[in-house]
Amino acid sequence: MSMDEDATDSSPPRGTPTPGQQTPVGRPEETPAVQARRDGGTAPRATNERPTAPEGSGSAPTKPRAVEQGRPTAFTPPPTRPNPAPQPGDVPEPSAPDRPINPFEPRPEDRKKSKRHTRRTKKSAPEAPAGRRVAEPEPGLGERLKKVRQPLGGRNITALTVAGVAVVAIIALIASTALWWFNRDTEVATEPGTEMSATPGPVLGAGQMLSETMALTIDPARSWQKTHDEAGVNESSPQIACIGPQAKDQPIPQITQLRGLSANGDDRTAALHRADAYATAEEAQQVFEFRSAELGACTDTPLYVEKGLNVTGLGDEALGVRVVLQDTKSEYHSVVLVRTGRVVNLLDVARAGAAVDMTSEAKALGQSINRQCGPALGLCMAPTVTVTDGLPPAGGAEPGFLTSGDIPRISPGSGTWRGNPLAASVDVQDGSSCEAVDFGSIGGTGVTRQMRTYLLRNDAAAPPQFGVDQVILTMGSAQEATDLAGRIGGNMSSCGTRTLTSQVPKTGAVESTGVGGVEIRGNWYVVTSKIDQAQEQHYRVAVVAAGNRLIYLRSNPTQTFDFTDEAWGQLAARAGERTTQIK
């Protein structure tokens, strides 16, 4: 096995979103933008004009005009009614003291005369011609007091009722407007696709981070308490799993907030929330892609990328990964990455022994996103948030190949994988001696050949130069890749009858689905070859086809230091999945 040099993944992960996942996580429904209320509205105008009757004899007065609906206007004082110009034959009307005209008072001809409210006269007042007034003697103080004490007629009650309803409506409108205005910054979940307008205040602050109440959504059976609150980060700040320090070629955030919370219990459940606000949404999107690649590769760490997660209904774009620190008692880190407008969020919830529910974690973070989306001019949390299993985000120094985070540990608590740069040529010698093909020449000149080696470090139990070789052959078509995988598989299965020194005691199927629904099919094998009467060489081999690519894996375990069958089968499937993340 050619593994003489150990080089790390030196180049930074490429900032590409996860292929096959909609980016951003959008909602097609379009709804009107939420705009801040403009100042200047006042109470609706009351109508105090006295009802007047059309010209002519016997005409009845009209009903009071309803309060105007629509945009509020400034209050206008009620107009006074001028006296009509005198006409020939009119009897002069005695002057009356100046006093406001009651708009709801009945006209004299509509009053019903009663003994209680009218003075008896020997002679009835003459009937006035059409359009003329009859002179009345000036009432005395007693008569005027009686008139004031008269019970309200039906028309008066109706008009007062209308006025009362209008006043109540105006008060309710003013109260509701004031309530909205003073509470406009509270969290609110909008429909998918709703664009927010900027709200007053900074784009990001401590009040927009995950709180103890929000954390109850992650696990309501626990009590949560804040353990860390920091504006900005430095070398001593706690770190999100798989996320490295500030990269030189990436935008620098204008604001960074970091918050840690812990829960009661003996499984060390804890959450770390980081939010970074950038100058523009374009910068935030660039950082989102970079963080996605970091999470997908998880290089230079002892963490194993167990699975990727598709997240929908949260912010402009979102994804998740579950990584594991494989120890005597494994520690699981469930990480959700979300962008809303120009703010990028990372939430890492760690727990020993078992992972937290990712859907609950996403919904907890969504409450924080709802406080950020307005100032950040981004999307909030949709009514429905879903989290499903998927592929880890594309990442690593060599896209299409395994990353160091894809390979599990052998010894719990020890070991870190490092990948070498791509080799200049494919050289796996005779493989395990059962493949019966030369990967350096099979398929002719039309085949593209690449090879990479991964070495295990910091594990005292590992044999010298223990690692994994990966070969990728890009064929002319998917059928050619499938045919070659079948040919090599047949040679592996018949190895025990073709050679006297090699046996294949174990084999298993590899099946998965890559980006775009590409089928990944093949097999893994355990090979034992005799070196002499006292020594044996052990190999693990996998041969899979994914589209027009053939992937070959080989490792050199011993009887006491080896991958499990399940881990090796999962690694073969992951190798096929990674090749579908490139074109």
At residue 492, what is the residue type? M
Give the closest residue to 427 by CA, choosing from 463, 447, 403, 452. 452
**What's residue 201's pLDDT?**
62
pTM greater than 0.75 (yes/no): no
* CATH topology agreement for domains 206-390 and 404-579: yes
**What's residue 445's pLDDT?**
85
**What's residue 430's pLDDT?**
79
404-579 fold: Protein Transport Mog1p; Chain A (3.40.1000)
Segment holding 174, helix H or strand E: helix 154-182
Kindly give, in sequence order, each residue whose CB lies less than 8 Å from that of residue 245, ignoring residues fewer than 6 positions away: 235
331-340/255-263 β-pairing? unpaired
Give the closest residue to 467 by CA, choosing from 530, 404, 537, 383. 404
Q: What CATH number does the domain located at 206-390 have? A: 3.40.1000.70
Segment holding 225, helix H or strand E: strand 224-231
Kindly give, in sequence order, each residue whose CB lies less than 8 Å from that of residue 109, ignoring residues fewer than 6 positions away: none
**What's residue 55's pLDDT?**
41
At residue 289, what is the residue type? E
**What's residue 169's pLDDT?**
58
Segment holding 36, helix H or strand E: none
**What's residue 443's pLDDT?**
86
Distance CA 542, CA 570 (A): 11
**What's residue 189's pLDDT?**
39
Per-residue pLDDT of the chain (583 residues; tens, 9 = 90+): 544 444 444 443 333 333 334 333 333 333 333 333 333 333 333 333 333 433 443 434 434 334 333 333 332 333 434 444 444 444 444 443 333 434 334 444 444 444 444 444 444 444 433 333 333 444 444 444 344 444 445 545 555 555 665 655 566 556 544 444 444 343 343 444 444 444 456 899 999 999 999 999 999 999 999 999 999 999 899 999 999 999 999 999 999 999 999 999 999 999 999 999 999 999 999 999 999 999 999 998 999 999 999 999 999 999 999 999 999 999 999 999 999 999 999 999 999 999 999 999 999 999 999 999 999 999 999 999 999 999 999 999 999 999 999 999 999 999 999 999 999 899 888 789 999 999 999 988 889 999 999 999 999 999 999 999 999 999 999 999 999 999 999 999 999 898 888 999 999 999 999 999 999 999 999 999 988 888 899 999 999 999 999 999 999 999 999 999 999 999 999 999 999 999 8
**Domains of the chain by residue range:** 206-390, 404-579
At residue 269, what is the residue type? T
**What's residue 349's pLDDT?**
98
**What's residue 482's pLDDT?**
97
B/e letters for 434-467, b = 16+ CB within 10 Å, e = fewer, are: bbbbebeebbeeebebbbbbbbbeebeebeeebb
Is the Cβ–Cβ distance between 553 and 468 less than 8 Å? yes
| Helices and strands of the chain, counted as H and E runs | 8, 15
Tokens of 243: 């996320």
**What's residue 164's pLDDT?**
62
**What's residue 158's pLDDT?**
53
B/e letters for 327-341, b = 16+ CB within 10 Å, e = fewer, are: eeebbbbbbbbbbbb
Is the Cβ–Cβ distance between 1 and 453 less than 8 Å? yes
